[in-house]
Structure 1
Amino acid sequence: MTGPLDIPTARRRYITVCALFWLPLGLSLAPLILLLTERGMTTATIAGLFAAHSLTAAALELPTGGLADVLGRRAVLVAAGLLNLTALALVGLGSAPWLLALGMVLMGAGRALSSGPAEAWYVDTVHADSGPDADLRPGLAGGSSATSAALAAGTLLGGALPWLLGLGPDLGARLSEASSGLVLPLSVPLLLGAAVEIAFVLYVLTALPEPPRPAAALRDVLRGIPATVVGGLRLGGRDALVRRVLLGAGAAGSALVVIELLMPGRAAAATGTSESGAVLFAGLACAGFICSGLGSRLAPLTARLAGSGERAVLAGLGAGASGLLLLAATAASTGAVALALSAAGYGLLYLGLGAAGPNQNDILHRRVTSAGRATALSVQSLALQLVGALTGLVVGTLRPGPVPWLLGGAVLLAGSLLWLRRSVPTPSAPQATTPRIVPDRVSPNNRRGPGEAVWSGHRPGGTLEFHAPQSQE
């Protein structure tokens, strides 16, 4: 790379990467369970396949975040795209349970690899061009909006394609017959997603330049990952603001799991049949992604109106909690008014989470620097997944009604209340968390500042250190 990209170019490329990565997932959302059912999988088997995906993503979340900090953002993003390409092809074409399980495991690995590198690349590029005080919120908001738009468009297209193939001269039946049952109409959205993954990989290779990193043997890379993981886990304990971000992510994960578990059944109950309920839920999911994208676009304005990013997070998570509490209030009600209020609560949840996300990440990026940025994002994603999984287990034991919705609303409300108390800045100048690489031969430019707490672990080329000010609250 001859020089850093300018901010508008970096923002456009980051937004494009977000859209290309999440569009295949959107394409697979609507047909995936129906395709697995068509392949002869039972409900228990399907649940096991999804568990394999979630557990793989959770287990690899931190190690792959450290890998991105060692090997580079672009290499890890390419690996994520290739894994998702293989996974979509296996799930779209496979019929044997072990093939489908392998596809779901690879999809979980791709998900873990993807959580952080693109955003870390964008922040690194902006800082290289304009310094650490550059405003990150517009780009982060644009990336979140592009993600939501890609998911919304993919959900609609993925749900419509199998239906369109059944119109007229039943192209779906001909396609299935020509492929000896290998390609079903429900397979087409996943195979289209695999084609999009090819475009994603090519775009990452050509559009995301980054400075060369020191060459490292795979053995040395793997040796450095455990220290990176331990340091990532300690990050929240070192910095009060980072701890709030992680807890806020966990609260958001709890809310999202409640929606995913309970809303499909609620939609089916409202319409009277599973088929029509699925159509209603698809429409709600698309509307939710649109609301999330709108909230993300409004994130910078929310911060300006609220007076700070911290207050904007408080407002966003509070609005999301209000949406869940509205869903709880209408859980036992029927009729047009209850349906309208439920839809409003659903949209308010996603609008609030969309507005809170970029502001939380802006705070996080001001507390860490390039050497540990992807790891920090992986810790954030891990918090979301683990708290969400725990909430899902609890919700599964509760009786249908308002109580499960109240649980999700209470957790999200607690996450928002964490931001009521403002942090008192430390008196010395720029005290942001600054993970960096300290070469084995210390130079005058790599001195530790006074009052900084440090964790470190060996990695190729030096020692990875997170320098965290002792935040006061």
Structure 2
Amino acid sequence: MTELTRLRTVRRRYVTVCALLWLPSGLGLASMVLLFSERGMSLAAVAGLFAVHSLTVAALELPTGGLSDVLGRRPVLATAGVLNMVACVLVGLGTTVWVLTAGMVLMGTARALASGTAEAWYVDTVQECSGPDAELRTGLARGGSATSAALAAGLLLGGALPWLLDAGPGLGTRLSEATAGAVLPLSVPMLLGSVVRVVLVCYVLAVLREPPRPPATLRAVLRGVPVTVFDGLRLGGRDALVRRVLLTAAAVGGALAGIELLIPGRTVELTGSPGSGAMAYAVLACAGFVCNGAGSHLAPLAARIAGSGERAVLVCLVTGAGGMLLLGVTATTRHPVATALAVVGFCLLYLGVGAASPNQNDLLHRRVTSAGRATALSVQSLALQLVGALAGLVVGALRPGPLPWLLTGAVLLSGALLWLRRVETRSAPDTPLTQGSRAGMS
């Protein structure tokens, strides 16, 4: 097999894993809140269940990244798939708060395990084949496009299946009666997600071959994970480029948190009822995922036009901040032109963020080695989640109007402006993370 053929195979496998990882998440987006409500959960209980998921991810993000670096990508990714499969069944069939809580804990654990693991596998494999200077941006961009496409497809399918079952001649009623109420029409997307997880596990075990790594004993895992996590945090403080990547992720988290919190209420105001507002939000969210995927696909082109990956991140995030500005200036009117501009702003945000992500991750991967790659991605994800949570609290405390939009847009713009000055690039072996991780494994 030639090097070019092997690279194409690796890229195709990475794209497939991304799609299989995120399709079930899209399926659950459309139905989970309504499913919990159908099970008799109050709005406060539903919020508590989602908080359990978020706190689990935040608590395990760094340790599981370190586990992936020490133990290997393939076993960690397969374990994530198994846990998610069980979680989908528990959430889809659970009727008590304790069963649903267990499902959300398992789902959060699986999310933390999978965070950055597939991407780390892709970069490890490509660099083993073509060396540390291998071209990464195209594969990362296609993986981002596959993720967005899977989320969009899952969202549409997850919304359509319960509607079709309810609209059919008694299909939903017969399904519920045949299973003594355990399976509702709203349960079907979650159960379908569990089936997709089975496919994911089989695919990972069958085709994801890893570059050789030292055998992992229990002692090596117990010593290596904390050292790797510590060095991942230390790298963000010592390396200017990695610090920019982390601060940019935090800025993006703030902007996305504002969007997720403010857009649903805005669609309800525009359509006049919660039901039609929810449908409009689902369509808009799907369009956002499509734009995010298109942005990821265009990331290599953006880098070529801008002249470098760093300049591309700057231009793309400024574009996203411009989208937030459009959402802000149209926040107080329902005029059709203002609504159209708001939709354009929404799409610009996701397009800009989607195009920026592969370019900044390309820069990040050239700063770390396989010994700490998943940990670095976990630190990046943690920065996005923590600042997103903080931004959500701030936005929720503000009065509705332009201010919340403009504030979160300013946060995103500040992340973009970090890239005005060029940072000298250097190879991964010089980084503290490489040295520390190797010391932890010795």
Q: TM-score, normalised by structure 1?
A: 0.90
Partner of residue 380, structure 2: 380
Cα distance in 2 for partners of 1:100, 1:433 equals 46
Instruction: Give the letter for the 1:208 counterpart.
Output: L
1:369 and 2:369 are equivalent in the alignment:
yes
Give 1:375 deviation, angstroms. Answer: 0.7
Instruction: Give the letter for the 1:221 counterpart.
Output: V
Instruction: Give the letter for the 2:285 counterpart.
Output: A
Give 1:211 deviation, angstroms. Answer: 3.3
Give 1:393 deviation, angstroms. Answer: 1.2
Cα distance in 2 for partners of 1:133, 1:86 equals 40
Instruction: Give the letter for the 1:34 counterpart.
Output: L
Cα deviation 1:242-274 (Å, max 9, x = unaligned): 110111111111111111111111111100000
Partner of residue 314, structure 1: 314
Provide the identity percentage: 68
The secondary structure found in structure 1 opposite 2:134 is coil
Cα distance in 2 for partners of 1:124, 1:455 equals 18
Cα distance in 1 for partners of 2:300, 2:438 equals 36
Give 1:188 deviation, angstroms. Answer: 0.2
Cα distance in 1 for partners of 2:215, 2:422 equals 43
Partner of residue 101, structure 2: 101
Instruction: Give the letter for the 1:122 counterpart.
Output: Y
Q: Is the 8 A contact 2:369 2:428 kept in 1?
A: no
1:261 and 2:254 are equivalent in the alignment:
no
Instruction: Give the letter for the 1:312 counterpart.
Output: A
Q: Is the 8 A contact 2:56 2:109 kept in 1?
A: yes
Matches within 5 A, 1:49-198: 49-198=49-198
Cα deviation 1:259-312 (Å, max 9, x = unaligned): 111111111110000000000000000000000000001000000000000000
Partner of residue 277, structure 1: 277
Give 1:167 deviation, angstroms. Answer: 2.4
Give 1:396 deviation, angstroms. Answer: 1.4
Q: Is the 8 A contact 1:17 1:200 kept in 2?
A: yes
Give 1:395 deviation, angstroms. Answer: 1.1
Q: Is the 8 A contact 2:251 2:412 kept in 1?
A: yes
Answer 1 or 2: higher relative contact order, Cα 8 Å, separation at least 6.
Answer: 2
Give 1:218 deviation, angstroms. Answer: 2.7
Q: Is the 8 A contact 1:268 1:277 kept in 2?
A: yes
Do the aligned partners of residues 307 and 356 (structure 1) sit closer, same or farther apart at CA in structure 2, a change above 3 Å counting? same
Name the count of aligned residue pairs.
440
Give 1:435 deviation, angstroms. Answer: 6.6
Instruction: Give the letter for the 1:408 counterpart.
Output: T
The secondary structure found in structure 1 opposite 2:167 is coil
Instruction: Give the letter for the 2:95 counterpart.
Output: S
Q: Is the 8 A contact 2:235 2:433 kept in 1?
A: no
Partner of residue 440, structure 2: 459
Q: Is the 8 A contact 2:28 2:189 kept in 1?
A: yes
Q: Is the 8 A contact 1:5 1:125 kept in 2?
A: no
Q: Is the 8 A contact 1:370 1:435 kept in 2?
A: no
Give 1:434 deviation, angstroms. Answer: 4.6
More helix by share: 2
Instruction: Give the letter for the 2:203 counterpart.
Output: Y
Give 1:170 deviation, angstroms. Answer: 2.0
The secondary structure found in structure 1 opposite 2:334 is coil
1:342 and 2:323 are equivalent in the alignment:
no
Partner of residue 38, structure 1: 38
Mind listing any 5+ residue stretches in structure 2 that lack a counterpart? none
Do the aligned partners of residues 238 and 455 (structure 1) sit closer, same or farther apart at CA in structure 2, a change above 3 Å counting? farther
Partner of residue 415, structure 1: 415
Stretch moving more, 304-313 or 106-115: 106-115
Give 1:431 deviation, angstroms. Answer: 6.5
Partner of residue 238, structure 1: 238
Do the aligned partners of residues 25 and 364 (structure 1) sit closer, same or farther apart at CA in structure 2, a change above 3 Å counting? same
Partner of residue 290, structure 1: 290
Stretch moving more, 70-79 or 391-400: 391-400
The secondary structure found in structure 2 opposite 1:132 is coil
Cα distance in 2 for partners of 1:4, 1:82 equals 33
Give 1:124 deviation, angstroms. Answer: 0.9
Give 1:128 deviation, angstroms. Answer: 1.0
Q: Is the 8 A contact 1:366 1:432 kept in 2?
A: no
Give 1:338 deviation, angstroms. Answer: 1.6
Cα deviation 1:146-191 (Å, max 9, x = unaligned): 0000000000000000000122322111000000000000000010
Instruction: Give the letter for the 1:386 counterpart.
Output: L
1:359 and 2:359 are equivalent in the alignment:
yes
Q: Is the 8 A contact 1:84 1:106 kept in 2?
A: yes
Partner of residue 389, structure 2: 389
Q: Is the 8 A contact 1:324 1:405 kept in 2?
A: yes
Q: Is the 8 A contact 1:371 1:435 kept in 2?
A: no
Cα distance in 2 for partners of 1:215, 1:360 equals 32
Q: Is the 8 A contact 1:369 1:435 kept in 2?
A: no
Q: Is the 8 A contact 1:13 1:208 kept in 2?
A: yes
Cα distance in 1 for partners of 2:311, 2:4 equals 32
Matches within 5 A, 1:399-410: 399-410=399-410
Do the aligned partners of residues 74 and 340 (structure 1) sit closer, same or farther apart at CA in structure 2, a change above 3 Å counting? same
Cα distance in 2 for partners of 1:187, 1:433 equals 51
Cα deviation 1:312-343 (Å, max 9, x = unaligned): 00011111111111101111111211211111
Do the aligned partners of residues 456 and 141 (structure 1) sit closer, same or farther apart at CA in structure 2, a change above 3 Å counting? closer
Cα distance in 2 for partners of 1:94, 1:107 equals 14
Instruction: Give the letter for the 1:387 counterpart.
Output: V
Do the aligned partners of residues 12 and 251 (structure 1) sit closer, same or farther apart at CA in structure 2, a change above 3 Å counting? same
Q: TM-score, normalised by structure 2?
A: 0.97
Cα distance in 1 for partners of 2:152, 2:437 equals 42
Do the aligned partners of residues 395 and 311 (structure 1) sit closer, same or farther apart at CA in structure 2, a change above 3 Å counting? same
Mind listing any 5+ residue stretches in structure 1 that lack a counterpart? 438-453, 463-473
Instruction: Give the letter for the 2:362 counterpart.
Output: D
